[in-house]
């Protein structure tokens, strides 16, 4: 994997995030992929389970923006740091770490995310 391949995959992820189209979601992952919504969560195994889990917990299209930068990109793994801003009432912002393992065709075979909500303005000491 290189930074260009990782960037292409994340662009596809963000498109799927904003469309909730099952085909776009499924195209991101290998048939036997694992997706963890947090480090110790039971993973969704397999493309269809990932699509089903995603749609069961979907965000509304256009509700969130995601910015990211790579932390580590190696032949086997990409680690990115992101910031997700939700335009909700009240607005919410999260910091994210994603660990992404792609196969030789650019599909994800293993995905784990860590997320932490930022304190609301004025909440931080």
Domain boundaries in the chain?
Answer: 3-117
φ/ψ (deg, to 5) at 91: -65, 150
Mean pLDDT computed over 2-8: 96
- Confidence (pLDDT) at 59: 93
* 11-67 pLDDT per residue, tens: 999 999 999 999 999 999 999 999 999 988 899 999 999 999 999 999 999 999 999
* 80-98 pLDDT per residue, tens: 999 999 998 889 999 999 9
Mean pLDDT computed over 65-74: 97
Domain 3-117 fold is: Nuclear Transport Factor 2; Chain: A, (3.10.450)
Measured distance CA(60)–CA(46) in Å, rounded: 23
Confidence of residue 125 (pLDDT cuts 50, 70, 90): very low
- Confidence (pLDDT) at 120: 77
The pTM for the full model equals: 0.92
- Confidence (pLDDT) at 122: 55
The residue among 51, 61, 80, 82 whose CA lies nearest residue 15 is 61
């Amino acid at each position: 994997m290189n930074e260009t391949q990782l960037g292409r995959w994340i662009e596809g992820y963000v498109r799927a995030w904003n469309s909730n189209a099952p085909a776009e979601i499924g195209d991101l992952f290998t048939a036997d992929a694992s997706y963890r919504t947090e480090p110790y969560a039971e993973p969704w195994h397999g493309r269809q389970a990932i699509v089903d889990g995603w749609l069961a917990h979907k965000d509304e299209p256009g509700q969130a923006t995601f910015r990211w930068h790579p932390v580590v990109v190696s032949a086997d793994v990409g680690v990115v740091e992101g910031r997700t801003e939700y335009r909700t009432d009240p607005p919410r912002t999260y910091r994210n770490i994603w660990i992404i393992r792609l196969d030789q065709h650019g599909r994800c075979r293993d995905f784990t995310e860590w997320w932490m909500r930022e304190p609301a303005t004025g909440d931080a000491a």
